[in-house]
Amino acid sequence: MIVTITPNPSLDRTYELGALTPGEVNRAARDRLDPGGKGVNVSRALTAAGHRTTAVLPLGGLSGQLLADLLRRQGIDVAAVEISGDTRINVSIAEDGGRLTKVNAVGPELSAAESAALLALVREDHIGDDVDWLACCGSLPRGLAPEWYAELVAQVHSRGARIALDTSGPALLAALSARPDVVKPNREELAEAVGRPVVTISDAVDAAGELRKRGAQQVLASLGADGMLLIAEEGTWYGSAPVTAVRSDVGAGDASLAGFLGAGGTGAEALAAALAHGAAAVQLPGSVMPTPADLDPAAVVVTADIPLERPLRG
């Protein structure tokens, strides 16, 4: 069983069109509405792969009710704290050429009581002998201090559960001392965390190593089109998976984390699963999560021979 917690979930509306013309009326060829938020996407990807999962999240207003309904329709157990604010709605515009424009709402502000209830819901009701991982994912909403994840990691570790953390900025840095079992930054988040540019794979390895020195037990670093790195006590691995055409990268990193955790959450095989899930996700519309039929494991290459001097694109 893998439990996810998403402190700032969303409804994600995606419009697909040929090309966006700013300042004009644009007509979408297709549109879809999906449950959103990083942990929500991890639960969706896990469910699509046949794993048991529960999504813990704060929900408010009609948008919160719709989000819960959409998740339950997908067979996902929902554990919610009712909040006074409305769950946010995000908008993505995907153009045929692969360009993606996103508008993310700020989201509601949680009160001290709502914050405490969310912590208690995880700690008291959703951490037990049958829970393999707790995935703590996404930005923190207004009202939650940067140390909120650190407190959660410490409390859950004391109960014996493993923690995957996918966040950034002060929330990531504050949680490192609590020794999460794996953190999953992307290239930009790595650079922000260490305060210097990441322009080569060597830079990414060095930055990930610094996060390990600060407390992370493993670092699963997403380098976008340049693949992924896994840096752990047992070793360092680099992997890549070819993608013929990117349709939408919304939720691709979340699908990667789901693949990694679903494959055990450690070692080269888990990295390969992460790459296969991420590559499949970017070829699907909106934030649709891949099923096993969408995966191409044979296309994934994982090696301990790291191409350190390779420059990163973009």
**How far apart are alpha carbons 125 and 75 in whole angstroms?**
20
Dihedrals φ, ψ of 28, to 5°? -80, 140
- Among the options 203, 254, 294, 296, which is catalytic? 254
- Which pLDDT value is given to residue 90? 94
Encoding tokens for residue 218?
């493993």
State both tokens at 295. Answer: 């995966």
Domain ranges of the chain: 2-20+29-303
User: Phi and psi at residue 55, in whole multiples of 5°?
Assistant: -100, 120
- Classify burial at 19, counting beta carbons within 10 Å of its beta carbon; exposed 0-12, middle 13-18, buried 19 or more: exposed
Asked if 261 and 254 touch (Cβ cutoff 8 Å), the reply is no
Q: Which residues pair with 35 in a beta bridge?
A: 11
**Edge-to-edge strand list for the sheet holding 10-17:** 30-36, 10-17, 88-95, 100-103
Stretches where the chain sits below pLDDT 50 are: none
Which pLDDT value is given to residue 232? 97
Q: Tell me whether residue 254 is one of the annotated catalytic residues.
A: yes
Backbone angles phi, psi at 88, to 5 degrees: -75, 160
215: tokens are 């407390």
Fold type of domain 2-20+29-303: UDP-N-acetylmuramoyl-L-alanine:D-glutamate ligase (3.40.1190)
300 alpha-carbon distance from chain centroid: 20
**Model pLDDT, residue 84:** 97
Decide: helix, strand or coil at residue 278.
helix
pLDDT of residue 314: 65
Give CA angle at 263 (132, 128), nearest 5°. 5
Residue 155's φ and ψ, nearest 5 degrees, are -65, -40
Task: Give the span between the Cα atoms of 12 and 88, in whole angstroms.
Answer: 9
User: In the numeric block, which tokens belong to residue 23?
Assistant: 């300042």
H helix and E strand count, the chain: 9, 14
Percent of the chain with pLDDT over 70: 99
Which H or E element spans position 257? helix 252-262
